Structure 1
Amino acid sequence: MSKRLKPGKPRRHNPHIPQHIDQTRLPARVYFDHRGRGNWYVLYCDVAGKQKRQNIANIHTTLSELHRIMEERKGITRDTLRFVLGRFHESAQYKMLALKTRSDYDYCRDLVVEMPTRLGKPLGDVPLRHFKPALIQRLIDRIAGEGTPSKANHILRYLRRVFRWGINRGYCDTNPAQGVEAAKERQQRRLPDIDTMMTLVDFARERGKRVRGEKGACAPYLWIVMELAYLCRLRGIEIITLTDANATTQGILTNRRKGSRDNIVRWDTRLRAAWNAATQRRADIWRVKSRTAPSHPEERTLIVAADGEELRKSSLDTAWQRMIKLAIEEGVIPRELRFGLHDLKRRGITDTTGTRHDKQDASGHRSAAMLDVYDLSVPLVDSSGTERP
């Protein structure tokens, strides 16, 4: 067994190193010999434990080439998919993404790099030169053919993002995922009926009164979130980011995402009751936790977690799924009538009275096509005939 070298001392500035090299970014254990024509070299120990020297590059070698040489010596291959994915997940662009997005990207990376291929090696070890649109299309079609079109499209979007990132930073030359056809997903446009919705609201309100941790208890804010989602036609993320600044004298000023227009939902008895319940719950939590309310309205989040901090979207999703599972197990709603929190927005838009223009104003959608995704009402029209004389 070869003898390992001891860790080296911090690198000192070497005036003989070429000016085009940033000495602070040199790979570890790479040295420069200025004698003669100048050479970069490394030191290693042979099987007998004797220190040896090996020249690895000349004076004209760039910093990036030095890094590549050292990575190859360590067995790291730069031209594989695994290498590019690894660099992306170490990048500042990845670290600035939302926690949920990073979690989704981590899931996609783990699936892709270990996926078996006919070459006898996992997909992550396949050289980048082999990646063509046809290969990516076969990959997406295969995953979709397993009955998981949504997973296939998640992976496709992920690969498009990574290859674009790699092109901009010199890791790859093309984006083989660009132009690949997405898998066709089944559209689930569930519309909960009014009785089921109100039954679940009452269930969430009653179970929210139980002590946290008690059997059958639910998050106490769920019934409020359900009411706001239906009455204001809001997404879950739009509800948990509401603050006191969204409460106006006329009603609730929405904070819609995905390009939708904001509007003010007028106060009524039901909407005011939900809002007041949320502010009272928040005040009780802050009092118990000895927290001082922020002075600026936009800093006072309406829905807070049990510790008084802002509620995370992932926490809301978990609480919702736990409540739905509990309601089904106890026979409150049948399994076939289960629905998602987002479906309450669809129910709210469908129940909005007035013309299509009125519904579009209420939903905030900028196009009639988007309204069609949410408005599942059936127009009532007159017949085309006239009465016979």
Structure 2
Amino acid sequence: MTGKKLEGTRRRQSDTIPKHIDQSRLPKGVYFDPRGRGRWYALSRDGAGRQRRSNIADAQATLSELHRIMEQRQGIDRETLRYLADQFHQSAQYKNLEVKTRKDYDYCRDLALNMPTKLGKPLGDLATRHFKPALVQRIVDKIAAEGTPAKANHLLRYLRRLFRWGINRGYCDSNPAQGVESAKERRLRRLPELDTIERLTAFARERGQRSRGEKGACAPYLWIVMELAYICRLRGIEIVTLTDANAITEGVMTNRRKGSRDNIVRWYPRLRAAWQAATDLRSRIWSARSTAIPTLPERRLLIIAADGGELRKSSLDTAWQRLIKMAIEEEVISKEERFGLHDLKRRGITDTQGTRHDKQEASGHRSAAMLDVYDLSIPFVSHPGDNR
């Protein structure tokens, strides 16, 4: 009789188990007793270690019902937002996402699941059937009202993706985040003045010469990154992935992202000086660390971390924020003059001489609409008519 089977032993196929059940998918600790009309039961151990039996369902129970019963016995509620999120974050669809997207989704999951509600329990413990567009809209509006509209929109996009995934796989019946209005974000298109850039670059260069750990020191590569961002009109990720292979006879071959076209920035004294400073800094770090130098040019990163390895974009962002904070505290720049590393690309595109076509070629943008986001120059135009 299958009722004599002990938990933890290997399950064998049994002719007494109802035919509509796939025995290979039975949850652990669930067994069938064919006596009488038949009963499903679970085996567990009490506090003294003695094995106990509990009847949990009749013979007509489906496989999904047995799984649901066992999950509830273990404190798992399949109907909650928490369960839906857990399933999504364990899925192949989530694992195939870019690292940056997964990191954003992880943040949004924690934000949603731990959000307090008037019911005295976190949002993650609410059943997904209780989620309506009005509830999601209130959540978005509340977060936006706290002065973080971008945070609200990140959460909204995550919920849309989460519920869509759940619908397609039978975890929920509707997508309450669909049709919810996004929070209005302020479009910051900062264009730092050249004098501000020069002051911050000089400050970064001076502080980068201080020993690591010394008070007031900053990453020694920051001023070089600033120069390359402005001169080559590059994003931060494009700078930290430059290698010796990008330095060709004619100039610097860019490695643009997001569908932009690559181009070659011709050598001139300022660009050569920045590139040489980067290679000199790299040589000093590798020499001090006795690092094995890669043979292939495409394996030799131009900008490296203090340990001689790859500099991650997140580390660059952290170093940049430290520099800005220190520069404001020491009144090198004011709070109003604060700008982001990406704004140096905008300044470089705006300062590019020539027509809009020339600027678009320099920026690598495939459309004039994208150029409008970066080119903040004001064109000079002629007056209408004749010269009278």
TM-score, normalised to structure 1, is: 0.89
Cα deviations by residue, 1:186-245 (Å, 9 ceiling, x for unpaired): 111110111110111111111111110111111011011101100111111111111222
Tell me the equivalent position of 1:21.
Answer: 22
Tell me the equivalent position of 1:231.
Answer: 231
Residues 60 and 365 from structure 1, CA distance in 2 versus in 1: closer, same or farther, beyond 3 angstroms? farther
The one-letter code matched in structure 2 to 1:202 is A
TM-score, normalised to structure 2, is: 0.89
Equivalent-residue separation in structure 2 for 1:331 and 1:12 (angstroms): 71
Q: Residues 263 and 364 of structure 1 are in contact (CA less than 8 Å); yes or no, is this contact kept in structure 2? A: yes
SS, match of residue 345 in structure 1:
helix
Tell me the equivalent position of 1:203.
Answer: 203
Q: Residues 13 and 23 of structure 2 are in contact (CA less than 8 Å); yes or no, is this contact kept in structure 1? A: no
Tell me the equivalent position of 2:153.
Answer: 153
Q: Residues 7 and 29 of structure 2 are in contact (CA less than 8 Å); yes or no, is this contact kept in structure 1? A: no
Q: Residues 21 and 62 of structure 1 are in contact (CA less than 8 Å); yes or no, is this contact kept in structure 2? A: no
Equivalent-residue separation in structure 2 for 1:343 and 1:49 (angstroms): 65
Tell me the equivalent position of 1:4.
Answer: none
Equivalent-residue separation in structure 2 for 1:60 and 1:295 (angstroms): 68
Equivalent-residue separation in structure 2 for 1:49 and 1:291 (angstroms): 56
Tell me the equivalent position of 2:312.
Answer: 312
SS, match of residue 153 in structure 1:
helix
Tell me the equivalent position of 1:85.
Answer: 85
Residues 253 and 47 from structure 1, CA distance in 2 versus in 1: closer, same or farther, beyond 3 angstroms? closer
Q: Give 1:54-203 correspondences, 5 Å limit.
A: 54-57=54-57, 61=61, 63-203=63-203
1:332 Cα deviation from its structure 2 partner: 1.3
Equivalent-residue separation in structure 2 for 1:239 and 1:282 (angstroms): 14
Residues 69 and 9 from structure 1, CA distance in 2 versus in 1: closer, same or farther, beyond 3 angstroms? closer
Equivalent-residue separation in structure 1 for 2:387 and 2:330 (angstroms): 55
Tell me the equivalent position of 1:3.
Answer: none
Aligned residues: 380
Q: Residues 20 and 62 of structure 2 are in contact (CA less than 8 Å); yes or no, is this contact kept in structure 1? A: no
Q: 5+ residue gaps in structure 1?
A: 1-7
Equivalent-residue separation in structure 1 for 2:288 and 2:36 (angstroms): 76
Q: Give 1:32-71 correspondences, 5 Å limit.
A: 32-33=32-33, 39-44=39-44, 52-57=52-57, 61=61, 63-71=63-71
Tell me the equivalent position of 2:242.
Answer: 242
SS, match of residue 54 in structure 2:
strand
Q: Residues 143 and 151 of structure 2 are in contact (CA less than 8 Å); yes or no, is this contact kept in structure 1? A: yes
Equivalent-residue separation in structure 2 for 1:281 and 1:239 (angstroms): 15
1:161 Cα deviation from its structure 2 partner: 2.0
Q: 5+ residue gaps in structure 2?
A: 1-5
Tell me the equivalent position of 2:10.
Answer: 12
1:9 Cα deviation from its structure 2 partner: 6.3
Q: Residues 114 and 124 of structure 1 are in contact (CA less than 8 Å); yes or no, is this contact kept in structure 2? A: yes
1:298 is the counterpart of 2:301 = no
1:324 Cα deviation from its structure 2 partner: 1.0
1:103 Cα deviation from its structure 2 partner: 3.7
1:275 Cα deviation from its structure 2 partner: 1.4
Percent identity between matched residues is 71
SS, match of residue 234 in structure 2:
coil
Residues 50 and 319 from structure 1, CA distance in 2 versus in 1: closer, same or farther, beyond 3 angstroms? closer
Equivalent-residue separation in structure 2 for 1:320 and 1:196 (angstroms): 15
Q: Residues 250 and 266 of structure 1 are in contact (CA less than 8 Å); yes or no, is this contact kept in structure 2? A: yes
The one-letter code matched in structure 2 to 1:270 is R
Return 323-332 or 229-238, whichever deviates more. Answer: 323-332
Equivalent-residue separation in structure 1 for 2:47 and 2:285 (angstroms): 67
Equivalent-residue separation in structure 2 for 1:276 and 1:37 (angstroms): 84
SS, match of residue 170 in structure 1:
coil
Tell me the equivalent position of 1:272.
Answer: 272
The one-letter code matched in structure 2 to 1:320 is W
Return 328-337 or 108-117, whichever deviates more. Answer: 108-117
Equivalent-residue separation in structure 2 for 1:21 and 1:302 (angstroms): 57
Return 109-118 or 59-68, whichever deviates more. Answer: 59-68
1:48 Cα deviation from its structure 2 partner: 10
Residues 61 and 265 from structure 1, CA distance in 2 versus in 1: closer, same or farther, beyond 3 angstroms? farther
1:119 Cα deviation from its structure 2 partner: 4.3
SS, match of residue 265 in structure 1:
strand
1:51 Cα deviation from its structure 2 partner: 5.2
SS, match of residue 53 in structure 2:
strand
The one-letter code matched in structure 1 to 2:82 is R
The one-letter code matched in structure 2 to 1:369 is A
Cα deviations by residue, 1:302-346 (Å, 9 ceiling, x for unpaired): 111011111011110111011111111112112210111000000
1:54 Cα deviation from its structure 2 partner: 2.7
Equivalent-residue separation in structure 1 for 2:183 and 2:222 (angstroms): 34
Equivalent-residue separation in structure 1 for 2:385 and 2:352 (angstroms): 29
